[in-house]
Structure 1
Amino acid sequence: MAIKITKHYIVNLSLAVVIFALGVFAIRYYNHYVSAYTDVTINSKVLNESRKVFIRLPTNYDANKAYPLIIKTDGNFNLETWDQALTKQAKKEKGDKAILVSIPNLFFTFTRNRDLVPPYARQDVNTEARLALEAISEPNGEADKFLQFIETELLPYLSANYKLTNNRVLSGFSAGGSFVLYTLHTKPELFNGYFAFSPAAWYDDMTVVKKLDTFLDTQSDKINSPTYLYLSVGSAEHPLMLKAFNNLEQALTANPNSTLVWESAVNLGAEHSDNPSLSVANALRGYNHFIKH
């Protein structure tokens, strides 16, 4: 029996496909670019684009009270874990301790590597040292611009709209972890807490490790006030990630600094994507102990 396909059927099918596609797009947009907290858009002159930030205020937020600040990258990724950890901390210590600001990556354009990879490494995060021709043909990361956005636009906005203490944390995962390390050795005064979960320090033949090692060896006096660094990795992560992590530990051990307190942890059995959720509470615990002592 032949099935007669009418024009009406084709139109309805096309509409159904379009509606389904729009629904999928809307869900992806909501999951990526909308948070359960306060969403603010900042028109950045530094980046020449509009950037959203998700602002989680303490449950019993008091506008007359000053709060510590935590800034994290990658928007909604692992944001629920942060909420749970801060909520648990608030119940234990009878009061929320921080305002959490999360910066999502752009939705329509892939800018994660552009923003988070240091300017001395390739955006494509190649593992090998670059050749002479690649230095010309392949674009570097632009973490310097992203950091300038945080320093000259985001922090002033937050300071103008919320009362903040001098306790400020920068947190990132993977490429965000390398951004945290980049900030530590270029603008250590911006934060007194640095959390790098599974930092991608292996770019261009361990160039991130080498830059941090050189900084600790020759310019560590730039860390002139008490600063806390927390590093973590999953034991089941890629061998290259584990090697970079071990090299970071060696660099920190070889170059002790009285003003830099650091801790590291290997989460047993954890894959790359598992490690951040296993690290947040421990990093917060270590930082809180640091600021109290």
Structure 2
Amino acid sequence: MKYIFCLCVSFFFAVNTMYAQYKKTTYTSEKLGEDREIIFHIPENYDAKKKYPLIVVLDADYLFETVMAASGFYTYNDEMPESIIVGIRQENSRLSDCNYNEDTGFPKDKGNNFFEFIGMELLPSLADEYNLADFRIIIGHGLTANFINYYLFKDRPLFDAYVNIAPTFAPNVTDYLTSRLSTLTIQKFYYLITSDKNRDAENAARIEELHQSLQAIDNDQLHYNFSIVEDSDNYTVAAHAIPRSLYGIFDLYQPIPPEEYEKEVLSYEEGIVYDYLENKYNAIHGTYDVDKKIRLNDVMAIYAACLEKEDLPSLESLGKLGKKEFPDTMLGYFFEAEFHEKSGNTKKAMRTYEKAFLMSEIDFLTKDMVQERIFNIKKDMGW
């Protein structure tokens, strides 16, 4: 129900932003020897100095709006970074685009040309036009879900995340996938989503067999996720699969939720608790190749952990961070003052609280709170 609700809300959001961010163009492909209609979603406030993950959508004639809507909702709620979404319409060329050799299962004829069109023409032209992050997602459904897997078999796979929605696999591809994903040396996300009312019993059995093989793989570089969507068929599954997969792929990017705070932050023992925050944002950059400003939500989560764990070194580090990331607010000075107070340096604490009092309020930190801290210190010192 959560994902259905999110999707409904995201569609509402998309309707209100679609016209500012949605455009179509015709791309003349030498590889295909024809013009192809491409659909773009570029963030409304696109900044050439920022990097943007790329999402490539096959079957864009019916999947694109769902991807754009889900992405818009998650971006609005700061659960995934702003991304560039590019869709390839295939309503009149789907079969030929995805043509494969019945013996090997690999692309042939126009299928091979379509494979090269994406990798050798479309992606390089996008990189020339936009500042793309080194994180790419590709999404396909049915026959195109099978097709996206071919990019995994390159020495350096073109995409970092593969969303396979109710795939219709070519011969041998499932065997190739098990072997390839077992030997990954760089991090990849692989999502396999199917319906509980798959109309093709043979293909449903192949998906289940692949799942059994993939879940047995012991490879830290593989982030594998499998789900069966209840009360869906081969078509309606796409509306569920897209928001689910995007939410999962960008799990690391999202704010620290209560569950993570309880299970991971409070039990963190690889250093001071401040290191958890630093490691999280380093991992965001390392995984998605985006520079994410540290959220106030995450700072406050670490602050709460500092108090609960009586971790004064982390409190001191938060003071320095607050001055750097929230320079016009009292955040940094408040943390620094509390560090001095808890360390027994009350005079320095009072002077620092006085500096905090002159700054802007933020979150639950108010001038009244700071003034009360100053009053209590003076009272304790007999002033």
Same fold (TM over 0.5): yes
Assess, with a 3 A threshold, how the Cα gap between structure 1 residues 197 and 188 changes in structure 2: closer, same or farther.
farther
CA distance in 2 between counterparts of 1:77 and 1:182 reads 22
Match of 1:160 among 128, 143, 154: 128
**Aligned equivalents of 1:189, 1:182: Cα separation in 2:** 9
2:198 to 209, 216, 237: 237
Separation in structure 1 between the aligned mates of residue 79 and residue 241 of structure 2, nearest angstrom: 22
- Match of residue 89 from structure 1: 74
Aligned to 1:113: 95
How far 1:75 moved relative to its partner?
A: 1.9
Instruction: Name the Cα RMSD after superposition.
Output: 2.5
Q: The residue matched to 1:289 in structure 2 has which SS?
A: coil
Structure with the greater alpha carbon radius of gyration:
2
Equivalent residue, structure 2, for 1:57: 42
Task: Please tell me whether residue 224 in structure 1 is matched to residue 185 in structure 2.
Answer: yes
The 1:286/1:45 distance shift into structure 2, 3 A limit, reads same
1:271 aligns with 2:256: no
Alignment of 1:1-293 (within 5 A): 37-93=22-78, 97-105=82-90, 110-117=92-99, 119-121=100-102, 142-186=110-154, 189-201=157-169, 203-204=170-171, 207-216=172-181, 220=183, 223-238=184-199, 239-289=201-251, 292=284
1:270 counterpart SS class: coil
Change (3 A) 1:187 1:283: farther
Q: Secondary structure at the match of 2:167?
A: coil
Name 1:9's counterpart in structure 2: none
Deviation at 1:115, TM superposition (A): 1.3
SS at the partner of 2:60? coil
Inter-partner Cα distance in structure 1 for 2:114 and 2:250: 27
In 1, Cα distance between the equivalents of 2:41 and 2:242?
16
Give the residue type in structure 1 aligned to 2:163: F
User: CA–CA distance in 2 between the matches of 1:166 and 1:289?
Assistant: 17
Deviation at 1:232?
Answer: 0.1
Deviations 1:83-113 (A, max 9, x none): 22111112110885210000011x6xx4212
In the TM superposition, residue 261 of structure 1 has moved relative to its aligned partner by 1.1
Q: 1:41 to 1:269 in 2, by over 3 A?
A: same
Q: Is the 8 A contact 1:228 1:290 kept in 2?
A: no
Q: Which moved more, 1:236-245 or 1:271-280?
A: 236-245
The TM-score, its normalising length taken from structure 2, stands at: 0.56
Q: In structure 2, what is the Cα distance between the partners aligned to 1:141 and 1:195?
A: 25
Task: Name stretches of at least 5 consecutive residues in structure 1 with no aligned partner.
Answer: 1-35, 123-128, 131-138
Q: Is the 8 A contact 1:60 1:96 kept in 2?
A: no
1:77–1:159 distance in 2 versus 1, CA, 3 Å: same
SS at match of 1:144: helix
> Using the alignment, how far apart are the partners of 2:156 and 2:251 within structure 1?
20
Q: 2:178 corresponds to which letter in structure 1?
A: D
TM-score, normalisation: structure 1: 0.72
Structure with the bigger percentage of helix: 2
**How far, CA to CA, are the matches of 2:244 and 2:80 in structure 1?**
18
Residue-by-residue CA offset, 1:235-275 (whole Å, 9 max, x unaligned): 01122232121121122134332211110110011111101
Q: Give deviations 1:52-76, integer Å, cap 9, x for gaps.
A: 2111112332233210000010122
After superposition, the Cα gap between the structure-2 partners of 1:115 and 1:44, relative to the gap in structure 1 and judged at 3 Å, is: same
Residue 46 of structure 1 aligns to a residue whose secondary structure is coil
Unaligned runs of 5+ in 2: 1-20, 254-283, 288-383
Relative contact order: is structure 1 or structure 2 higher (C-alpha 8 Å, sep ≥ 6)?
1
Return the alpha-carbon distance in structure 2 between the equivalents of residues 96 and 278 of structure 1.
20
How many aligned positions are there?
Answer: 233
Higher strand residue share: 1
Q: Contact conserved, 1:46 with 1:148, CA < 8 A, in 2?
A: yes
> How big is each residue's C-alpha offset from its partner over 1:185-232, in whole Å with a ceiling of 9 and x where there is no partner?
34652111111110112x44xx32123234346xx2xx3211101110
Distance 1:188 1:121 in 2: 25
Seen in structure 2, the aligned counterparts of structure 1 residues 265 and 114 have a Cα distance that, compared at 3 Å, is same
SS in 2 for 1:184: helix
Q: Report SS of the residue matched to 1:213.
A: helix
Deviation at 1:283, TM superposition (A): 0.5
Distance between the aligned counterparts of 1:265 and 1:68, measured in 2?
Answer: 24
Identity of aligned residues (%): 25
